[in-house]
Chain A
Amino acid sequence: MAACPLVKNVLLLDSDGRRVAVKYYTDDWPTLAAKLAFEKSVFTKTQKTNARSEAEIIMFDNHIVVYKFIQDLHFYVTGGDDENELILATVLQGFFDAVGLLLRNNVDKRAALDNLDLILLCLDEIVDGGIVLETEASVIAGKVASNALDGSGSFSEQTISQALATAREHLARSLLK
């Protein structure tokens, strides 16, 4: 009880329950199979709820999961069953809003996959080994974007799909030669 608040995992799934990006911080789910099983049960237990305007919450298997949906993306944050629910909700809100800022409010699965690097960096800046690093969305997004802004090869300028398209073009040209 007298311990630091601990986040057990942060999940970002799509509307079919498939992974977009996930990060586990504890050994509660030691194998890939256990992780996938947890994701499946979280997804099926929550998919019918309306967690769009306010974050929702569910408790099962001695875990507390707070979650929020937007478009075809499902955001989840899991903690132990004696964790302060509001701390988990704050982490969730931070993640959710930071992704919104980074994707310029165009939040859906396609945009998330196009900017997966930003999503992964975002996760990295929110929780470190289960300990909450930062919960303020603007600060999180700022830390992630600071690279993008002063870097030359910024992903905010060119998405992966565009890059792939260019690559394909290059390939086609080289073949024609």
Chain B
Amino acid sequence: MAQPLVKKDDDRDDEVEYSPFLGIEKGLVLQEARAFHDPQLDARRCSQVITKLLYLLNQGETFTKIEATEVFFAVTKLFQSKDTGLRRMVYLIIKELSPSSDEVIIVTSSLMKDMNSKTDMYRANAIRVLCRITDGTLLTQIERYLKQAVVDKNPVVASAALVSGIHLLQTNPEIVKRWSNEVQEAVQSRAALVQFHALALLHQIRQNDRLAVSKLVTSLTKGAVRSPLAQCLLIRYTSQVIRETSNSQSGERPFFDFLESCLRHKAEMVIFEAARAITELSGVTNRELTPAITVLQLFLSSSKPVLRFAAVRTLNKVAMTHPLAVTNCNIDMESLISDQNRSIATLAITTLLKTGNESSVDRLMKQITNFMSDIADEFKIVVVEAIRSLCLKFPLKYRSLMNFLSNILREEGGFEYKKAIVDSIVILVRDIPDAKESGLIHLCEFIEDCEFTYLSTQILHFLGNEGPKTSDPTKFIRYIYNRVILENATVRAAAVSTLAKFGALVESLKPRIFVLLRRCLFDIDDEVRDRATLYLNTLGGDDSVGEIDNDVKEFLFGSLDVPLSNLEMSLQNYVPSEEPFDISSVPKEVKSQPLTEKKAPGKVPTGLGAPISNPTSTVDGYEKLLSSIPEFSSFGTLFKSSAPVELTEAETEYAVNVVKHIFDEHVVFQYNCTNTIPEQLLENVTVFVDASDAEEFSEVVSKPLRSLPYDSPGQTFVAFEKPAGVPAVGKFSNLLKFIVKEVDPATGETEDEGVEDEYQLEDLEIVAADYMLKVGVSNFRNAWESMDPDSERVDEYGLGARESLAEAVSAVITLLGMQPCEGTDAVPNNSRSHTCLLSGVFIGNVKVLVRLSFGIDGPKQVAMKLVVRSDDPAISDAIHEIVANG
């Protein structure tokens, strides 16, 4: 196929890239446009000049205002010519020049004349041009003609008017709405495209009137819609109606029959639209899905790439919510792995990874390995991410998945791809204890030959934290010390820190680590030498081979307790003098809260200091934040921080959300406040908390926010004391109090006088789930059997009528706040019973495992059996209490 083409190109090179527009110049073409003023118009020549002008515009050339006006006026002269070809070019260039409103007037009369011409082509085009360039005032003059045109016998004219109507509806809705009757008539047109355009316009006119849309759909789904495009529209409108009426629970879904009948339409476009609409129905059942999946499955083996792509993309989406429904297509899907079109292949792979069960993992990995070598990095990243979630779903399969990841880690690839793999391995090491050793070794091997400094330092940091805790830390030392010998200064410095961490945690290694660190004292780089010296001193030299101080560990493993930006600022302000720099003088108040950083659209942190993305990073952030506030330092370690709970409606004057921090004997509410009024500055912001509905809590500290300027979030804290280790619950009502000062937004000046004011926030609750940490286990059965059977507590509960089994399961999971294991939180459609496995750590570091068995009978009555095992029988009882009270 490619052969003759190449040859042709060669031939062309000989004649120097022929183009009729070779050496075209704007100035010359504008000169040529003077021909338009010629009293004896040469139609052909004028057409050519317009083509040249259009060519220039199309290549991205721009005309100045004066040039455009000149050309426009010249072009208006061409309406004198009777030549139809020239007239078409005139229409085109007028649209491209998009004249200003005072210029439009010049051509209006000519165009209006054409709108009433006997030539259909003139009428259609004049309508489109006029509607494109006109403004509201002119529209009233031509409205009468447009209305007529909508029902014109010629379909081209009718379509032109209808499509123009769709555009005009954005700017002049009141005028277009008056055409309803005519448009309604056009919907019945025999011409396919007219029907399509009329339906689109009619729906847009009525889109805010739900009843009217519903009526429209009802009448049309019965009749015959001719055009496939119009049928696609009708399917979209139908699913919209279904969405809006689905509140009624009873029986058959309205219009479902229509959607299903569209699956047998002769146009593929319609079949696909209907299949997609069915898969996107909210709460779609398996019975409803089946016919849609069947047609999509047929598309998978089509010879047309577009059809295969559309089908596999839709099935991929279905697999996220209904993996079982898609398993029938697995065989077709597997053959798509070798598809020429890599987008299709990648979608097929990721679908298979979602629908696959534990037994098919090994086979799949084999197929993917062959496939990975010939796709682009961006697709590889998608695959790596899918594999990561698969591994978390089937922790038992970590071995083959980890092998796969380590293999692809060794192959060629760009930074983003390598980073995705490293991130995945790090997450697996963190979440699957069994995978720790092998994962770390894979990472070690990777840094032996890693070209990315960023990844090397990240891995060294991670190794320092995790390596010493393994059974044989010695084996990592070689890899780390190799870095000191072979790498650049940044990596060497990181390796020195990692060595020090091993020295601090592994007593037996300490003397040998010291030997290595001493060698680093001769490094050519300052930073490396400094670090080595520092660590040698903090670890205490070889004479004190004893218990290493907690301070040292804190220094090595703890995080910096001042915000980096504050530290940077203080260091810049520091004037060299006799007095040394005092880190305690650095303000610990965080200027911008960690949450706003997360909102920033920036994709990947690239700085060296950025942490490897990990699920606990927000908690780390909170911990850092809280420990920086002296009042809270005595509360001990943070047990859990909740996700932010909004206490205000969206788009109110002040936006407040709260994060609940649970300590052993205390609870801290962190109120994140944002002031959305540019004219105000809030000062001394506090939250007054009424805890009368929470008897076991008593307020100890309230930390006000000194000032809250416009659009720069700040935090205020309130701390409560509670009985130790008890999962006390309660309800708190909140009132935001502050002093408001007027600000002139133009100058930024603030008035001196402020007024006290308050603002009612929504209530906040501490529930039992707040005392539960989501901690997964890799093998639930083993974990369950290793627990003391005496701690087991069993009971049965009736949950009453529920919308569905899945809804009941997720309600109980939310109530308990525990981590679902082995993917048991997904309830297959239409199942009558389900078993869900949960694990978590309750306050006081009590490990809890829960086995939930659900059953549903005819009228949606759900019953549940709850079996709990935990380290402490009292906690098992407490879990039952939570459910009983929930």
Q: Is the CB of A151 within 8 A of B236?
A: no
B89: A residues at CB distance < 8 A: 117, 121
Contact A151-B83, Cβ < 8 Å, known A113-B21, A121-B88, A131-B166: yes
What's the minimum C-beta distance from B155 to chain A, rounded to whole angstroms?
Answer: 9
Contact A128-B163, Cβ < 8 Å, known A22-B58, A87-B232: yes
What's the minimum C-beta distance from B683 to chain A, rounded to whole angstroms?
Answer: 41
The reply to whether the CB of A137 lies closer than 8 angstroms to some CB of chain B is no
What's the minimum C-beta distance from B314 to chain A, rounded to whole angstroms?
Answer: 9
B343: A residues at CB distance < 8 A: 57-59
1/0 per position for A131-149, CB-CB distance to B under 8 A?
Answer: 1111100000001001110
Q: Is the CB of B85 within 8 A of A148?
A: yes
Contact A87-B229, Cβ < 8 Å, known A116-B54, A153-B83: yes
Q: Is the CB of A146 within 8 A of B306?
A: no
By beta carbon, the residue of chain B nearest A84 is B273
B62: A residues at CB distance < 8 A: 32
The reply to whether the CB of A175 lies closer than 8 angstroms to some CB of chain B is no
The reply to whether the CB of B193 lies closer than 8 angstroms to some CB of chain A is yes
The reply to whether the CB of A172 lies closer than 8 angstroms to some CB of chain B is no
What's the minimum C-beta distance from A58 to chain B, rounded to whole angstroms?
Answer: 6
Q: Is the CB of B21 within 8 A of A66?
A: no
Q: Is the CB of A57 within 8 A of B86?
A: no
Q: Is the CB of A160 within 8 A of B306?
A: no
A132: B residues at CB distance < 8 A: 196, 229
By beta carbon, the residue of chain A nearest B50 is A117
B305: A residues at CB distance < 8 A: 54-57
What's the minimum C-beta distance from B496 to chain A, rounded to whole angstroms?
Answer: 42
A151: B residues at CB distance < 8 A: 43, 83-86
1/0 per position for B331-343, CB-CB distance to A under 8 A?
Answer: 0000000001101
The docked-state distance in angstroms from the alpha carbon of A129 to that of B163 is 9
The reply to whether the CB of B159 lies closer than 8 angstroms to some CB of chain A is yes
The reply to whether the CB of B223 lies closer than 8 angstroms to some CB of chain A is no
Q: Is the CB of A19 within 8 A of B59?
A: yes
Within B91-126, the residues touching A (CB, 8 Å) are: 92, 95, 121
What's the minimum C-beta distance from B1 to chain A, rounded to whole angstroms?
Answer: 6
By beta carbon, the residue of chain A nearest B307 is A86
A171: B residues at CB distance < 8 A: none
Pair count A-B, CB < 8 A: 178
The docked-state distance in angstroms from the alpha carbon of A164 to that of B49 is 11
Contact of B156 among A108, A143, A158 (CB under 8 A): A143
Q: Is the CB of B236 within 8 A of A1?
A: yes
Q: How many residues of A contact B (CB 8 A)?
A: 64
B86: A residues at CB distance < 8 A: 151, 153
Q: Is the CB of A32 within 8 A of B60?
A: yes
The docked-state distance in angstroms from the alpha carbon of A148 to that of B43 is 12
Contact of B43 among A52, A120, A152 (CB under 8 A): A152
The reply to whether the CB of B304 lies closer than 8 angstroms to some CB of chain A is yes
Q: Is the CB of A71 within 8 A of B8?
A: yes
The reply to whether the CB of B365 lies closer than 8 angstroms to some CB of chain A is no
A97: B residues at CB distance < 8 A: none
Q: Is the CB of A133 within 8 A of B193?
A: yes
Within B351-367, the residues touching A (CB, 8 Å) are: none
The reply to whether the CB of B572 lies closer than 8 angstroms to some CB of chain A is no
B92: A residues at CB distance < 8 A: 120-121, 124
Contact A134-B193, Cβ < 8 Å, known A2-B236, A151-B43: yes
Contact of B159 among A19, A116, A133 (CB under 8 A): A133
A164: B residues at CB distance < 8 A: 20
A150: B residues at CB distance < 8 A: 84
B58: A residues at CB distance < 8 A: 19, 21-22, 120
| Interface majority SS (helix, strand, loop, mixed), chain A | mixed
The reply to whether the CB of B51 lies closer than 8 angstroms to some CB of chain A is yes
B195: A residues at CB distance < 8 A: none
The reply to whether the CB of B28 lies closer than 8 angstroms to some CB of chain A is no
B514: A residues at CB distance < 8 A: none
The reply to whether the CB of A5 lies closer than 8 angstroms to some CB of chain B is yes
B378: A residues at CB distance < 8 A: 60
By beta carbon, the residue of chain A nearest B2 is A50
Q: Is the CB of B156 within 8 A of A56?
A: no
Within B315-349, the residues touching A (CB, 8 Å) are: 340-341, 343
What's the minimum C-beta distance from B780 to chain A, rounded to whole angstroms?
Answer: 38
Q: Is the CB of B163 within 8 A of A133?
A: yes
Q: Is the CB of A153 within 8 A of B233?
A: no
Q: Is the CB of B20 within 8 A of A153?
A: no
1/0 per position for A143-177, CB-CB distance to B under 8 A?
Answer: 10011101111110011110110000000000000
Q: Is the CB of A84 within 8 A of B276?
A: yes
A90: B residues at CB distance < 8 A: 269
Q: Is the CB of B121 within 8 A of A131?
A: no
Q: Is the CB of A15 within 8 A of B48?
A: no
Q: Is the CB of B20 within 8 A of A160?
A: yes
A124: B residues at CB distance < 8 A: 92, 95
1/0 per position for A55-87, CB-CB distance to B under 8 A?
Answer: 111111000001000011000000000001111
What's the minimum C-beta distance from A126 to chain B, rounded to whole angstroms?
Answer: 11
The docked-state distance in angstroms from the alpha carbon of A56 to that of B306 is 6
Within B52-67, the residues touching A (CB, 8 Å) are: 54-55, 58-60, 62
By beta carbon, the residue of chain A nearest B89 is A117
Contact of A146 among B1, B121, B304, B341 (CB under 8 A): B121
The docked-state distance in angstroms from the alpha carbon of A3 to that of B59 is 31
Q: Is the CB of A54 within 8 A of B303?
A: yes
B60: A residues at CB distance < 8 A: 19, 32, 35-36
The docked-state distance in angstroms from the alpha carbon of A110 to that of B8 is 12
Contact A131-B43, Cβ < 8 Å, known A2-B240, A147-B88: no
Contact A49-B239, Cβ < 8 Å, known A84-B310, A164-B20: no
The docked-state distance in angstroms from the alpha carbon of A152 to that of B85 is 8
The reply to whether the CB of B167 lies closer than 8 angstroms to some CB of chain A is yes
Contact of A158 among B5, B44, B229, B268 (CB under 8 A): B44
A152: B residues at CB distance < 8 A: 43-44, 83, 85
Contact of B84 among A3, A71, A147 (CB under 8 A): A147
Q: Is the CB of B84 within 8 A of A86?
A: no
What's the minimum C-beta distance from A162 to chain B, rounded to whole angstroms?
Answer: 10
Q: Is the CB of B83 within 8 A of A57?
A: no
The reply to whether the CB of B457 lies closer than 8 angstroms to some CB of chain A is no
The reply to whether the CB of B417 lies closer than 8 angstroms to some CB of chain A is no
The docked-state distance in angstroms from the alpha carbon of A161 to that of B21 is 9
The interface of chain B, by Cβ under 8 A from chain A, is 1, 5, 8-9, 18-21, 42-45, 47-48, 50-51, 54-55, 58-60, 62, 83-89, 92, 95, 121, 128, 132, 156, 159-160, 163-164, 166-167, 193, 196-197, 200, 203-204, 207, 229, 232-233, 236-237, 239-240, 268-269, 272-273, 276, 280, 303-307, 309-310, 313, 340-341, 343, 378
- Excluding A84-B269, A129-B132, A152-B83, 16 further A-B contacts by CB distance (< 8 Å) are A2-B236, A5-B229, A5-B232, A5-B233, A55-B304, A72-B5, A86-B273, A86-B307, A110-B19, A116-B21, A117-B50, A121-B89, A134-B193, A151-B85, A151-B86, A160-B48
Q: Which 7 pairs of residues, A with B, have the shortest CB-CB distance?
A: A153-B44, A151-B85, A2-B240, A85-B310, A86-B269, A153-B43, A147-B85
A-B contact pairs, 7 of them (CB 8 A): A1-B240, A57-B341, A72-B9, A85-B306, A89-B306, A116-B54, A154-B85
The interface of chain A, by Cβ under 8 A from chain B, is 1-5, 15, 19, 21-22, 32, 35-36, 49-50, 52, 54-60, 66, 71-72, 84-90, 108, 110, 113-114, 116-117, 120-121, 124, 128-129, 131-135, 143, 146-148, 150-155, 158-161, 163-164
